[in-house]
Structure 1
Amino acid sequence: MDTESGEAPLLQVSSSNSQYKPFNWKAPAIILAFEFLESIAYSGIALNLVVYLGKVLHGTTASSAANVDTWNGTTFLTPVLGAFLADTYWGKYKTVAISIIFYLTGLLIITASALIPSLRPASCEGTSCPPATGFQYFVFFASLYLVSVGTGGVKSALLPFGADQYDDSNIEQSKKKQAFFSLFFIAINLGVFISGTVVVWIQQNVAWSLGFGISSICLIVATIAFLVGTPIYRVQLPTGSPLKSLIAVFVASFKKRKVEVPGDTTILFEGDDADLSNPGPNKLAHTDGFRCLDKAAVVLGDQEIKDSNSGRPWLLCTVTQVEEVKILLRMLPIWVTSVFYAASMCQTATTFVQQGNALNTKIGSFSVPAASLNSAAVVFMMIWVVFQDSIVIPIARRYTGNAAGLTQLQRMGVGRFLAIPALAVAALLEMSRLRSVRAGHNLSIVWQLPQFVILSCSDVFCGIAQLEFFYSEAPVSMRSLCSAFSFLAMSLGYYLNSMIISAIAVLSKSKGGQGWLPADLNDGHLDYYFWLWTGISAVNFVVYTGFAKNYTVKKVAPR
């Protein structure tokens, strides 16, 4: 059993053979290939959805944008439900397998709706565009939300399932797992890049049905590969609902709120040591902080111990149960700062694109779509990943003596810090653009590259580290759920950015004028908005630094 990471023993898929499986490099390789193909499939729907709703289903600009925002919000919330099911009932492997059914069904129906004439409205004739019928809308959106449910289950369970293939007690495997997180990040972004350049072009220039069909084929191939790899996977079985244990700690500590916590914490209730060979989480060492919760582990009598061991923990909990609650409470402020960080990253899909459209998009005789710089950002990300893993981390290892080079919290801090100069550069560019417009000329869109380069580096440091952090720090019984925190932060980041930009649009007009964000950016002050986000990011970094500096890393009790 792993004695350092707190991981449960790794079990075979087959219940007839409980022997531990040796590490097989093919398992994580299949999972990475699956994520690459799944990323192509998902992005093939998501990147061009607003265009399809407008051009094919003939929706209005406002309704199309609202439908896309609602779907994106749902898509990034569903991993929380999928993670709960993975941790509590199905396990990670089964959650992925079941989710694929919803996912693939949705993709196939979307492809059919684009292919079969009766499932889409007729093409426009001049200015006459017949609207989609209620049935056509129902078929498309029902399939779209099937994709949302399916991708939610996959996103929540696939990454922690891949990480489960490695054993942290083995130093070499531990290093390989760190590389796995980086490769997983590359797989996601490489899939986005291919969809954003190839699949999207096919959809708009050849046939929507062919583009959606490519997404379906990618997921079919990914599914076959995932199922073929079943015999070699290491699979951890779910341990039941972790919520009961969490609630029990709060209930027990409240009931004992007048009890004094002993100075010698070694006498706190540790649980039954009768059979440590059974699969389950290793015991966590006691940590200082949130001492009021330690009251839940104070033993007042033998009857409490009997009740706890018999599954009635409402008056006495183990130190490990208490420490799991402490972990979640310590992670919470770190997670909150990740919401603000995600909101700052949202600028690449909104205000950065608007700024790009206001710049001179001509490079020679070629016109560069402003949104295509997001595809260039993917290239920068992959370059930064290689730079981080081959140069930054090895140098950091020599100076810090840490096998990981920089800790997860340090890398997350670097990412949050880099968001500040990236947004400041965007603000400076907008100031220069406005001056050039007033002077009778315009700057080239090439000047946007520096802000994309810096944000890409920020995303590499922070994005990968957050995936590792929420997985490794989470209680074993909640690893899928905590890994889904990154997706939840992204979802809330979109909503937060939408709220702030809507508020600024109204408040900046309160004294008359067109405000910071008019339809024609030449009449506004988008630079003020970027400076606002520069300030928000700076405050977010300072707050994060305070919490990260005092963060107590999870510790496993010696056996």
Structure 2
Amino acid sequence: MGVERVESNGAQDGRTSSKRDRRVFWAAVFILVSNCFQYTAYFGVSTNLVNYFKDRLHEGSKTAANGVTNWQGTSSITPLVAAFVADAFLGRYWTIALFLVVSVAAYALLTATAAAAALVHAEAPFYAGLYLLSLGGALQPVLSSFGADQFVGDEGEQSSFFNWFYLSINVGALVGGTVLVWVQSSVGWGVGYGIPAAFSVLAVAAFFAGTAAYRRHQPPGGSPLTRVAQVVVAAVRKCGVEVPDDAAALHECEDADGMSAIQGSRRLAHTDQFRFLDKAAVETAGDKARPSPWRLCTVTQVEELKCVLRLLPVWASGIIFSAAYTQMSTTFILQGDTLDPRVGTFSVPAAVLSVFDTISVMLWVPVYDRVLVPLARRATGRDRGLTQLARMGVGLVVLAVAMVAAGALEAARRRVIARHGYYESHTGAGGDGEYLPLSIFWQVPQYVVVGASEVFTFIGQMEFFYDQAPDAMRSLCSGLSVTSFALGNYASSALLAVVARVTARDGREGWIPDDINRGHLDDFFWLLAMLCIGNFGVYLLIARWYKYKKTVD
């Protein structure tokens, strides 16, 4: 696969422009379809995994839950592996191709073990396939970066691509988390895992089918970790050297096309932040006598590290956001388990209500992309409408509203309990064996608002970390944004444990006892709302301090 430079935004004539536009359009279509198939397969396995552990591997509830969380934790780290391979060695196209093939092998192994589990003991092969999947399915940061590469030079269309990329994830989640889970429960695990395997094959086929349409392939630039280490070592070695006031005196070099010395990376403009690191680019007499990348670095190499350092506070703000977001899979379900799930003769499990979050995302993406962005574009004059930092900030506030909605419902639920005298909960029923006279569908607003916050913050993060990363580190920085979600899960677990212990002192039930009818889950939601607002306050300071990346054209 050859390396193509970024195509010019201009065109010699209308036919050339039209041909290029069609090519970019089809490149995006193939990437989005492949991504949708991947996530359909992924959620077809992950959504109902705890029940596989219990039904087929005969694990206890605690062991099964730990098995799922351990696997999900691993799956949150492996994107960094794929991102590093893409940026350092293979480039994005070949990394995607390799990991897609690995995922097909993983699904095939899972399907084989699921089909044979009734006949033989297949625990070891299943775990092998599962953790192979955590590696093969780690493509979100690389695939999103590769898709955005196709729109380099067109900020508006690039921003729109991230919206539709996230929508494709949620379409996959909707199909995989509902239809395929029903197949597993009603037909069997062999077929239930065979269908995700088929979708993984379709994902590979869709990606390769678009090969001729992909117009830009970022070449690997070598290990970014090595370049970062060189800057730190060189700066420490020259800690006594004065940095010149004129940034033009700092060391820089470029190739014949005006690019930086890092393959495929544009030169970065010098910034005044983290001036200590500029010492690595100060050329001394010793550097001329004995040149070494561990003693003298280019301005672009120094600015690479500065870009990463500027991203870290923004990344950290996503941890609190993710901790509140993950309540959908924990406290929201605990709350829903006590409410009336009946719709006619059917009962709706509390966990199923997360589908309203997915539907909310699927509705909000086109509204944001086709309504809010054009309105904001007219008001601000920016191609993206809102700046990336502003977009993420809106999502932080919206999630606080969702926590307030959850707290308000919980307060109303507690009033119903007090009014009717229900103090024991048995699978959602009151003390007399009847459901609380409060429908589970009162939870829908909080799920819908959470979905809206995702469209602003999660998609904004994807776009921001891609756009603000150095050219040769875009996959890795995009992978870094994913890890904030993993840490948010850990932070949520820690917060739940601390709150439960602190509020249960001196013989009190605490906020989150085993029987939440005797607790104060509403106070926990108020706490989360305050943490979201506090996080937003800190975020405003970070956004004011942040300096957007600038390249030297």
TM superposition score normalised by structure 1: 0.89
Give the Cα–Cα distance (whole angstroms) in 2 for the partners of residues 36 and 317 of structure 1. Answer: 42
Check conservation: 1:73, 1:491, Cα contact below 8 A: yes
One-letter code of the match for 1:280?
G
One-letter code of the match for 2:228?
L
Q: CA deviation at 1:273?
A: 5.4
**Is residue 2:173 matched to residue 1:192?**
yes
From 299, 314, 320, the counterpart of 1:334: 314
Q: What is aligned with 1:245?
A: 227
One-letter code of the match for 1:286?
H
**Is residue 2:250 matched to residue 1:255?**
no
Cα 1:404/1:114, change in 2 over 3 Å: same
Q: What is aligned with 1:487?
A: 482
Q: What is aligned with 1:182?
A: 163
One-letter code of the match for 1:539?
G
Q: What is aligned with 2:274?
A: 290
Cα 1:307/1:31, change in 2 over 3 Å: farther
Q: What is aligned with 1:18?
A: none
From 537, 540, 549, the counterpart of 1:542: 537
Q: CA deviation at 1:456?
A: 0.9
Q: What is aligned with 2:392?
A: 412
Check conservation: 2:243, 2:279, Cα contact below 8 A: yes
Instruction: Map 1:343-362 onto structure 2 (within 5 A).
Output: 343-362=323-342
Cα 1:156/1:272, change in 2 over 3 Å: closer
Q: CA deviation at 1:22?
A: 5.0
Check conservation: 1:8, 1:282, Cα contact below 8 A: no
Cα 1:273/1:236, change in 2 over 3 Å: closer
Instruction: Map 1:308-323 onto structure 2 (within 5 A).
Output: 308=291, 312-323=292-303
**Is residue 2:418 matched to residue 1:434?**
no
RMSD: 1.9
Q: What is aligned with 2:126?
A: 140
Q: CA deviation at 1:481?
A: 0.6
Give the Cα–Cα distance (whole angstroms) in 1 for the partners of residues 254 and 439 of structure 2. Answer: 68
Check conservation: 2:399, 2:449, Cα contact below 8 A: yes
From 241, 246, 253, the counterpart of 1:264: 246
**Is residue 2:461 matched to residue 1:466?**
yes
Give the Cα–Cα distance (whole angstroms) in 2 for the partners of residues 38 and 458 of structure 1. Answer: 24
Give the Cα–Cα distance (whole angstroms) in 1 for the partners of residues 151 and 210 of structure 2. Answer: 16
One-letter code of the match for 1:149?
L
Check conservation: 2:259, 2:266, Cα contact below 8 A: no
Q: CA deviation at 1:364?
A: 3.4
**Is residue 2:432 matched to residue 1:449?**
no
One-letter code of the match for 1:439?
R
Check conservation: 1:253, 1:293, Cα contact below 8 A: yes
Give the Cα–Cα distance (whole angstroms) in 2 for the partners of residues 370 and 28 of structure 1. Answer: 36
Give the Cα–Cα distance (whole angstroms) in 2 for the partners of residues 86 and 533 of structure 1. Answer: 37
**Is residue 2:361 matched to residue 1:376?**
no
One-letter code of the match for 1:522?
N
Cα 1:409/1:272, change in 2 over 3 Å: same
Q: What is aligned with 2:68?
A: 68
Cα 1:220/1:306, change in 2 over 3 Å: farther
Give the Cα–Cα distance (whole angstroms) in 1 for the partners of residues 108 and 508 of structure 2. Answer: 50
Check conservation: 1:252, 1:295, Cα contact below 8 A: yes
One-letter code of the match for 2:517?
N
Cα 1:277/1:243, change in 2 over 3 Å: closer
One-letter code of the match for 2:5?
P
Further displaced range: 422-431 or 64-73 = 422-431
From 383, 386, 391, the counterpart of 2:371: 391
Further displaced range: 216-225 or 513-522 = 513-522
Greater than 4 Å deviation, 4+ residue runs:
117-120, 272-275, 305-308
Q: Deviations over 1:447-478 (max 9, x none)?
A: 11111121111110011110001111111111
Q: Deviations over 1:37-56 (max 9, x none)?
A: 00100000000000111122
Structure 1 SS opposite 2:102: helix
Q: What is aligned with 1:304?
A: 287
Cα 1:361/1:333, change in 2 over 3 Å: same
From 360, 363, 367, the counterpart of 2:347: 367
Unaligned runs of 5+ in 2: 8-18, 421-435
Q: What is aligned with 2:199?
A: 218
Q: Deviations over 1:242-279 (max 9, x none)?
A: 12221111112112212222222222222245553795
Check conservation: 1:307, 1:313, Cα contact below 8 A: no
Q: What is aligned with 1:202?
A: 183
Structure 2 SS opposite 1:414: helix
Q: What is aligned with 2:29?
A: 29
Check conservation: 1:433, 1:442, Cα contact below 8 A: no
Q: CA deviation at 1:141?
A: 0.8
Cα 1:119/1:473, change in 2 over 3 Å: farther
One-letter code of the match for 1:491?
A
Structure 1 SS opposite 2:506: coil
One-letter code of the match for 1:388?
Y
Check conservation: 1:119, 1:139, Cα contact below 8 A: no
Give the Cα–Cα distance (whole angstroms) in 1 for the partners of residues 451 and 258 of structure 2. Answer: 45
Q: Deviations over 1:326-360 (max 9, x none)?
A: 11111101101111111111001111111111111
Give the Cα–Cα distance (whole angstroms) in 2 for the partners of residues 430 and 362 of structure 1. Answer: 19
Q: What is aligned with 1:116?
A: 116
Q: CA deviation at 1:9?
A: 2.7
Unaligned runs of 5+ in 1: 1-6, 12-20, 121-132
Q: What is aligned with 1:124?
A: none
Cα 1:119/1:175, change in 2 over 3 Å: farther
Check conservation: 2:218, 2:264, Cα contact below 8 A: no
Q: CA deviation at 1:102?
A: 2.1
Q: CA deviation at 1:118?
A: 5.2
Give the Cα–Cα distance (whole angstroms) in 2 for the partners of residues 395 and 332 of structure 1. Answer: 31
Give the Cα–Cα distance (whole angstroms) in 2 for the partners of residues 331 and 454 of structure 1. Answer: 27
**Is residue 2:33 matched to residue 1:38?**
no
Q: Deviations over 1:55-107 (max 9, x none)?
A: 22221000000000000000111101111111111111111111123211111
From 150, 159, 184, the counterpart of 2:136: 150
Cα 1:225/1:273, change in 2 over 3 Å: closer
One-letter code of the match for 1:324?
E
Give the Cα–Cα distance (whole angstroms) in 2 for the partners of residues 387 and 29 of structure 1. Answer: 20
One-letter code of the match for 1:29?
V
Give the Cα–Cα distance (whole angstroms) in 2 for the partners of residues 272 and 184 of structure 1. Answer: 34
Q: CA deviation at 1:281?
A: 1.1
Structure 2 SS opposite 1:91: helix
Instruction: Map 1:67-106 onto structure 2 (within 5 A).
Output: 67-106=67-106
Q: CA deviation at 1:304?
A: 2.1
Structure 2 SS opposite 1:481: helix
Further displaced range: 218-227 or 265-274 = 265-274
Q: CA deviation at 1:119?
A: 5.2
